[in-house]
Structure 1
Amino acid sequence: MDLGLKKKVAVVTGASVGIGLAVAEGFAAEGADVLLVARGKERVEAEAARIAADHGVKAAGISADVATAEGVAAIVEAARAEFGGADILINNAGTGSNETIMEAPDDKWQAYWDLHVMAAVRLARGIVPQMKARGGGAIIHNASICAVQPLWYEPIYNVTKAALMMFSKTLANEVIKDNIRVNTINPGLVLTPDWIKTAKQLTASSGGDWEGYLQGIADENAPIKRFASPQELANFFVFLCSDKASYSVGSTYFVDGGWLRTL
């Protein structure tokens, strides 16, 4: 299936590892050029070089902190300078939290607000004009099943991902007139390096069966009884940005192996 993505330019944040890296590679496999964004300069530049060599596309890596206005400005300028603008924006950068509402300080709330919400707001302000000049585009926000089905141990993550989902819907209504489609993906369990690292830490003193630990989480939460691979999730991102999804606007899609317990 030709997804119509050849020579499109995709900006992917949080792109040096896990879901973001799989998404960037998924676009490159379809012939799109990619700008990979992450905080770690060496890793993101190395992954960009590898993707360019593997897929015969133009790929660049930029070290930037999306949680800051300065970092976002650098990303917007890199998209313009390196590629002449962007057609696709994937707001993927983010991380889980661990706290209680009663104990979490204001600065932790603010840090996650900047990372999960203001990054998307600022990137929209910077990248949407580029998309308009190129005739349209697609924006995907990577939120979480926790935006609607919260986990007890990460209230800040739950709240800021819910806010991101509403921002996505509101932005979609504003920019569809410019032929820019905005949607949200809410993943469930995805086997990222962070999950593996955490599982190994938690099982180190009890035999080290980290795979069994993760299988227990999957058995408890996902009717499909397994984690998704980053590549499985990336396939959905790529499709949703393609010509084949041209009527998908302002929606939220759950890719969670059946974990969501509501309609």
Structure 2
Amino acid sequence: MDLNLRGKVAVITGGSIGIGLAVADALAAEGVDVVMAARQPERLEEEAKRVAGRHGVRTLPVACDVATAEGTKNLIAAVESFGGADILINNAGSGSNETIMEAPDEKWQHYWELHVMAAVRLARGLVPGMKRRGGGVILHNASICATQPLWYEPIYNVTKSALMMFSKTLANEVIKDNIRVNTVNAGLILTPDWIKTAKQLTADKGGDWEGYLQGVADEYAPIRRFGKPEELAAFFVFLCSDRASYSVGSTYYVDGGMLKTV
């Protein structure tokens, strides 16, 4: 199916690993040129080169920390030098792990900058260019935790919920410029972070990290498995395409049935 994406330019934060990298690969497979942003330059450059070689598209690795104003400024400037963007995927983020009673202000502020202000700043910086190009798509990778919180990461829950609301209000503001904004709330996706955590938690208990992850899937997801980053990426690609032309300001759950409400 031709999704009419060939020749467009996408910006993906957190683009060198996990979900962001899977989205970069999936969009590149559709002929999209990709600006990949991440903090670790060596891995980023290696993956950008691989994506370009595999799919025959242009890629631009931009090493920056989007949790800082300077980092988003550098990314916006790089995108402009690349000719502008048609698609923005706000994907950069991580879990938090704390209690409300013990977490200091600094930790709350860091995740606010990473999950919310990065999206705000990139919208301010890239929307004018999208408007000049005739429109675009902005997608926010939030989390099922935005509406169904996990007890051990309250800061993640709160900031992802704020990101979801930002996405909704941004959608209402920029649809007049033919820019569609939506949110994706994923459930259990088998990223390198999940594998790393599972290995750490089982290191002194026999090392059955795969069994640990299966237990998590059995407990939380009726589908009884983790999703693959590629499965989630396919949904992102669809939302970027004209096939989703009437999807505006919505939140979509890709969670294997994990959400407990309707």
Does TM, scored on the shorter chain, surpass 0.5? yes
CA distance in 2, matches of 1:72, 1:17: 19
Three-state SS of the structure 2 residue aligned to 1:61 is strand
1:50 corresponds to which residue? 50
Gaps of 5+ in 2: none
CA distance in 1, matches of 2:121, 2:105: 21
What aligned pairs does 1:79-158 form with structure 2 within 5 A after superposition? 79-82=79-82, 84-158=83-157
1:251 corresponds to which residue? 250
Are residues 1:30 and 2:23 paired? no
Shift of 1:54: 0.5
| 1:181 partner letter | R
Three-state SS of the structure 2 residue aligned to 1:19 is helix
Gaps of 5+ in 1: none
Are residues 1:213 and 2:212 paired? yes
What aligned pairs does 1:164-183 form with structure 2 within 5 A after superposition? 164-183=163-182
CA distance in 2, matches of 1:236, 1:262: 21
Cα distance per residue 1:174-201 (max 9 Å; x no partner):
0000000000000000000000011011
CA distance in 1, matches of 2:207, 2:146: 31
| 2:119 partner letter | A
Three-state SS of the structure 2 residue aligned to 1:65 is coil
CA distance in 1, matches of 2:16, 2:62: 10
Three-state SS of the structure 1 residue aligned to 2:203 is helix
| 2:4 partner letter | G
Shift of 1:86: 0.1
Root-mean-square deviation over aligned CA pairs: 0.4
TM-score between both structures, scaled by the size of structure 2: 0.99
Shift of 1:60: 1.1
CA distance in 2, matches of 1:183, 1:104: 30
Give 4+ residue runs of structure 1 displaced > 4 Å after superposition: none
CA distance in 1, matches of 2:114, 2:258: 25
Three-state SS of the structure 1 residue aligned to 2:62 is strand
| 1:106 partner letter | D
TM-score between both structures, scaled by the size of structure 1: 0.99
Shift of 1:46: 1.0
| 1:63 partner letter | A
Cα distance per residue 1:144-201 (max 9 Å; x no partner):
0000000000000000000000000000000000000000000000000000011011
1:195 corresponds to which residue? 194
Shift of 1:55: 0.3
CA distance in 1, matches of 2:160, 2:204: 33
Shift of 1:33: 0.2
1:231 corresponds to which residue? 230
Three-state SS of the structure 2 residue aligned to 1:200 is helix
Are residues 1:74 and 2:74 paired? yes
Shift of 1:45: 1.0
